[in-house]
Amino acid sequence: MGKLADKVAVITGGGSGVGKATAALFLKEGAKVVIAGRDPAKLDAVAKELKGDDALRTLPTDVGDADRCQALIDFATRAFGRVDVLVNNAGTNLKERTIRELSPEAWEMMIRTNLDGAFYCTKAVLQQMLDRRDGVIVNVVSVAGKRANPLGGAAYVAAKFGMGGLGLVLSNEEKDSGVRVSNIYPGEIDTPILAVRPTPVSEAHRATILKPEDVADAVLFVAALPARVSIPELVIKPTAQLYW
C-alpha cells in the first residue's frame, strides 16, 4: 500500500510543473486525485500522460474566483466522497514585475491568483475537514514569501508573504481541530514560470536548480505524516542558491 492509500487530494495548478509532478507522485502512492488549472487542454494532456484512470479527475478552474474554488471542492467531494489533502499550488508571475512597471490591474491579477486562490480553496474545504477532525492543507509558497528579493517582483513577493501568513495563522487557529497546515517554500524551480523571467534563464542555470519532482517529494512528506505530526514550515532550495 502507498503512503496515501485511500486518501483524496485536490491539487491546484496541476497542468504543469510542481502540480503535475505532485499529482503523479500522489497517484503512485495510492491517492485519488483531482487536478485543477485554467487551461483545459493542459489538464487533458496531463490526464492522458499520468493514466490515472478512475483515480484521477480534472476540472478547469480559475482559483481567483471564489465560486469556482467552491465548485472544485464540491466536484472532488462528489467524485471521491471527501477531500483529505488540499495542495494550494496555483501561481503565476509576469515579466513587468517592478513597482515602476506594475499596473493596478496586473497587481490585482497577481494577488488574486497567488493569494486569494489559496484562501478561497482553503475556505471551501475547511468545514468538511473540521467535521471529520482530519485533513491536511499544503501551501506551495516560495522563498519569495520569506525573502523580499526583487527577482520575484513586488506583487509576487507580496502575495507569497501573504500566503505564508495565511497558512501560519490557520495552522495555529486549528491546532486542536485535527486540521494540519504546512507551508512549503521552494527556491528556484525548473518550471514553465521561468519563461516570464525578465532575463532569460540559461540551460546551465536550469541544470543547477530544483526540479518539480523535488518539490513534489516535499509535499508528499508533509502530507503523509501521522496525524500527531505537523510541519508548519519547510524551506527547500537548490544547493547552489543563496538563502538570505
Residues involved in catalysis: 156
The CA dihedral of 83, 85, 90, 91, to the nearest 10 degrees, is 150
Report the distance separating Cα 179 and Cα 177, nearest Å: 6
Q: How far apart are CA 61 and CA 37, in angstroms?
A: 5
The whole-angstrom separation of Cα 156 and Cα 135 is 28
Q: What's the order of all strands across the beta sheet hosting 8-12?
A: 56-60, 32-37, 8-12, 85-88, 135-140, 179-186, 233-236
| Beta pairing, strands 233-236 & 85-88 | unpaired
Would you say the C-alpha torsion 97, 98, 103, 109 has a positive or negative sign? positive
